[in-house]
Structure 1
Amino acid sequence: MAAKEEANQPKLVPHLVVDDAAAALDFYAKAFGAEEMVRMPGPGGKLIHACMQINDAMVFLNDDFPEFNDGKSSTPTALGGSSVTIHLHGPDVEGRFQRAVDAGATVVNPLEDQFWGDRYGVLRDPFGHLWSLAETVREVDMNEVLAQMASGS
């Protein structure tokens, strides 16, 4: 049977590894309005795959399975942090930021107006992943942005 044409459309999908994927799905729904699309339990109740949609983008996640990763955990907590930040851009950044904090996210950088024109802040979710949230609040000419960067302001 041939795959549906849309199944093979090019896309980039972040794939998060967490401890307690079921709890993570609940958190992401409360914090970011994620809509769960798929939940595939595996042996012992751990989730081998899940898919959710946030801001019309898919995000995959699963429980940590060190046995399939050379015996090493690959959660941000086990690795001592995350080198990736997932960015959510859109209106009502104040409300979206507070919703995530109320759901259990920790503020890394509070929301502030930035020289590049966005109101921007960073959160860490309870599973160790970083999320930046932003809303464009003013249009800024790229020459102004470059001048601000060059001056160190």
Structure 2
Amino acid sequence: MAIDNTPMLVPHLVVGDAAAALDFYAQAFGAEEMARIPGPDGKLMHAAMRINGAMLFLNDDFPEFNDGKSSTPTALGGTPVTIHLHGPDVDGRFQRALDAGATVVNPLEDQFWGDRYGIVRDPFGHHWSLAESVRDVDMAEIMAQMGGAG
């Protein structure tokens, strides 16, 4: 493997079943698997995929390497992070995620800032917002909608 030090920022998800997560993300979001590295017990130590042209890492939960604590969203009682996917055909992409097993957190609706936007929870507890820009909105209108000064 060639050395590559290209600067990047890569979200890294911890899940309860990384192999199932890879399958889900392929079905729900069109993820392209790049790498899968199993550990000695069959759990995935590392996996990489590409969604919307961006890299995403994930691995199975390994409490033994985290002070004995699970770090999945389910174990933590939720997630403070939302992964955002922006692009065309948000209605189709939102439905595709639901058909693959995601659940609605916020329904897909036209928003005052000009996007059609909604949030789903994947079967592993991670939140994904999906959006498509549907109209141009200037900052004064956004601020007025938010009750701020324009």
TM range (shorter): over 0.9
Choose the corresponding residue for 1:49, options 34, 42, 46: 46
For the pair 1:76 / 2:79, whether they are aligned, the reply is no
Q: How many residues of Structure 1 are paired with residues of Structure 2 in the alignment?
A: 148
TM-score normalized by the length of structure 2 = 0.96
SS of the residue aligned with 2:146? helix
Partner of 1:117: 114
Partner of 1:18: 15
**Residue type matched to 1:42 in 2?**
G
- Per-residue CA deviation, residues 32-52 of structure 1 (Å, 9 max, x unaligned), is 000000000002100000000
SS of the residue aligned with 2:59? strand
Q: Which runs of 5+ in 2 are unaligned?
A: none
- Per-residue CA deviation, residues 77-102 of structure 1 (Å, 9 max, x unaligned), is 00000000000000000000000000
SS of the residue aligned with 2:147? helix
Runs of 4+ in structure 1 over 2 Å off: none
For the pair 1:107 / 2:68, whether they are aligned, the reply is no
**Residue type matched to 1:100 in 2?**
A
**Residue type matched to 2:18 in 1?**
A
**Cα gap change, 1:100 to 1:2, in 2 (>3 Å):** closer
Q: Distance in 1 between matches of 2:147 and 2:11?
A: 32
For the pair 1:126 / 2:120, whether they are aligned, the reply is no
TM-score normalized by the length of structure 1 = 0.95
**Cα gap change, 1:117 to 1:2, in 2 (>3 Å):** closer
**Larger helix fraction of residues:** 1
Identity over the aligned pairs, expressed in percent? 81
Q: State the Cα distance separating 1:150 from its structure 2 match.
A: 1.1
For the pair 1:147 / 2:144, whether they are aligned, the reply is yes
Q: Distance in 1 between matches of 2:65 and 2:106?
A: 34
Choose the corresponding residue for 1:89, options 86, 90, 105: 86
Q: Which runs of 5+ in 1 are unaligned?
A: none
